[in-house]
Structure 1
Amino acid sequence: MIPILYFALPALGISYVVLSIFFLRRPHLLHTTWAPAFPIRLAAHRGGSGERLENTMQAIENSMAQRADLLELDCQLTRDGVVVVSHDKNLSRQSGLNKDVNSLDFKELPLYKKELEIYFSPGHFAHGSDRHMIRLEDVFQKFPRTPMSVEIKEKNEELIQKVANLARSFDRSDITIWASEKNSVMKKCKAANPEMPMAFTILRSIWILLLYYLGLLPFVSIPEKFFFCFLPTIINRTYFPFSCGWMNQLSAAVTKWVIMRKSLIRHLQDRGVQVLFWCLNEESDFEVAFNLGANGVMTDFPTALRHYLDKKEPRAPASSV
């Protein structure tokens, strides 16, 4: 018995590895694959918060002038039940008023500060003449066919239901993406409007990476359609997830080794998942992301990314009639 196991176990292990690699490169043999309904190259973070004040209509209009493929937005709910586009629940950083959005009616919301530091470009500030917070409904109405990612940060069922209903009422469920860091929130979102595509949560992202390294990823279903992932090389430069310096260095080294795998990105894409790296504001980072095979990049500076894309992918001249 022992001699049989001595030869059988390694043979089984080798067969498993070969099958895993085979199906990793050929997912169409196990799963139905299709091209994305709306390919994304340029995604505007917080509506394009590096060039105008974040999440204002002026920032969004500026991003759309740069032919943004996706608007990344965060939503909160006011006391009178209005869904507003705001990254923070507390208004202190954005306006100087130390109150939560849900403690005020929409008409009571303060103006944004005259300048706001760009989170992923420390020491740089955005300005704009438009300082008003806006309703998600207004953005949907003005840009009815522009894909948008709507992030829900807390398990607020009223907010989730209102976003779901807005997407339905504007007939844009297919181009409005559910995004959240938390699994528990995403479950509520999917139940509220299952027609809206989902992005990976943090836990689901870790799970997918684990399956990839165990060789099991080709054999499991993937309901998500978007993988929004930070680019590890920006840690210690523009993104500081930990207050301790050595923790940032360790995080950068580990995540760079784990995430920056072309075979993983290619497999997800073959399974109908678009991979976007965030939040990149420099041309060298754009280059790294696209060289890895990413579908697109999320940026605070849509003009800079548009210049990069036009330089790399010049549009064909219009045909004469």
Structure 2
Amino acid sequence: MLKIGHRGAAGLAPENTRASFEKAMEANLDMIEIDVQLSKDNQLIVFHDHNLRRLAGINKKVNELKLSELKKIDIGSWFSEQFAQERILSLAEVIELVKGHLQINIELKVIRRDHNLLVKKLVRLLKERDFSQDVIISSFDHQLIKSLKQTNPELQGAILVASVPVDPLRLIRDADADGIHPHYLTVTEELVKLVKQAGLMINTWTVNQQDEITRLKNLNIDGIMTDYPELLVER
């Protein structure tokens, strides 16, 4: 089973930061889940929200600022003053940091008008960094995953869902995806069996309760995302 750190180790350090990714590596996880979007100057940057308000107290959209401007913003103090120097990273920087230690689940955060450029730049970077075999690309935009897979079938793609799907296999196949990433409260024994018997993958998010992690492990799920890596350590 894949042990996946949500936004690094978001319960231990500010999400999607170098400190968070370093803690995920220290915990010997298999993978981190991160969020990727484009800056104003079309750089692939690692940040979850479309607005900087929650983490930086600045009411600006991420895509209104260039990478050089985003680099000046403190995104760690909200968590603790000890993380005041944490800055937004480019995807290239994250790959450089974790390569050889962690795989990456890249969740694409998309504004519809830029999705073709986002995919193009992502595919190019993964090839340049020889990292294509170490990623899963996921999104709530299932058409985006379909577009990605049609042009880059070698990449692993998964659809994200937050509610119970009526026909999960159809959803996955309609997107040409390799699997599904459902919210943990929607995961049942029936769903896991259905997906795995079809030869597809199922990883779930974001599980921060030990009893739920035990339940999901017993269902033989493929991977679990958590903010607290220690919960995934075998007991």
Q: Which amino acid aligns with 2:8?
A: G
Equivalent positions of 1:4-23 (< 5 A) are: none
Q: What residue in structure 1 maps to residue 153 of structure 2? A: 194
Q: Which amino acid aligns with 1:283?
A: Q
Aligned-CA RMSD value: 2.8
In the superposition, relative to structure 1, how do residues 286 and 130 fare at CA in structure 2: closer, same or farther (>3 Å)? farther
| Secondary structure at 1:73 match in 2 | strand
Q: What residue in structure 1 maps to residue 184 of structure 2? A: 231
Q: Which amino acid aligns with 2:103?
A: P
| Secondary structure at 2:106 match in 1 | strand
- Post-superposition Cα deviations, 1:243-284, rounded to whole Å, max 9, x if no partner, equal xxxxxxxxxxxx5xxx41x24313422433232221111211
In the superposition, relative to structure 1, how do residues 103 and 131 fare at CA in structure 2: closer, same or farther (>3 Å)? same
In the superposition, relative to structure 1, how do residues 57 and 167 fare at CA in structure 2: closer, same or farther (>3 Å)? same
Quick one: distance in 2 between partners of 1:83 and 1:189? 16
Q: What residue in structure 2 maps to residue 115 of structure 1? A: 78
The offset of 1:201, in angstroms, is: 4.1
Q: Which amino acid aligns with 2:134?
A: I
The offset of 1:126, in angstroms, is: 10
Which residue, 31, 55, 59 being the options, matches 2:16?
A: 55
Asked if the contact 1:52/1:126 (under 8 Å) is kept, the reply is: no
The offset of 1:51, in angstroms, is: 0.5
In the superposition, relative to structure 1, how do residues 161 and 127 fare at CA in structure 2: closer, same or farther (>3 Å)? farther
Quick one: distance in 1 between partners of 2:223 and 2:22? 20
Q: Which amino acid aligns with 1:168?
A: K
Quick one: distance in 1 between partners of 2:140 and 2:41? 26
The size of the alignment, in residue pairs, is 229
In the superposition, relative to structure 1, how do residues 98 and 265 fare at CA in structure 2: closer, same or farther (>3 Å)? same
Which residue, 261, 283, 287 being the options, matches 2:210?
A: 283
Structure (1 or 2) with the greater strand fraction: 2
The offset of 1:87, in angstroms, is: 0.3
Q: What residue in structure 2 maps to residue 101 of structure 1? A: 62
Asked if the contact 2:76/2:85 (under 8 Å) is kept, the reply is: no
Q: What residue in structure 1 maps to residue 105 of structure 2? A: 149
Asked if the contact 1:51/1:300 (under 8 Å) is kept, the reply is: yes
- Post-superposition Cα deviations, 1:5-61, rounded to whole Å, max 9, x if no partner, equal xxxxxxxxxxxxxxxxxxxxxxxxxxxxxxxxxxx4310111111100000011001
Q: What residue in structure 1 maps to residue 230 of structure 2? A: 303
Q: What residue in structure 1 maps to residue 87 of structure 2? A: 132
Quick one: distance in 1 between partners of 2:199 and 2:81? 35
The offset of 1:144, in angstroms, is: 2.3
The TM-score normalised by the length of structure 2 is 0.85
Say which is worse superposed, 104-113 or 132-141, in terms of deviation: 104-113
| Secondary structure at 1:88 match in 2 | coil
**Structure 1: gaps (5+ residues):** 1-39, 117-124, 233-254, 312-321
Identity of aligned residues (%): 26
Q: What residue in structure 1 maps to residue 122 of structure 2? A: 163
The offset of 1:101, in angstroms, is: 1.3
The offset of 1:84, in angstroms, is: 0.7
**Structure 2: gaps (5+ residues):** none
In the superposition, relative to structure 1, how do residues 54 and 209 fare at CA in structure 2: closer, same or farther (>3 Å)? same
| Secondary structure at 2:221 match in 1 | coil
2:196 is the alignment partner of 1:273: no
Q: What residue in structure 1 maps to residue 165 of structure 2? A: 206
Q: What residue in structure 2 maps to residue 172 of structure 1? A: 131
Asked if the contact 2:76/2:84 (under 8 Å) is kept, the reply is: no
Which residue, 69, 72, 75 being the options, matches 2:30?
A: 69
| Secondary structure at 1:276 match in 2 | strand
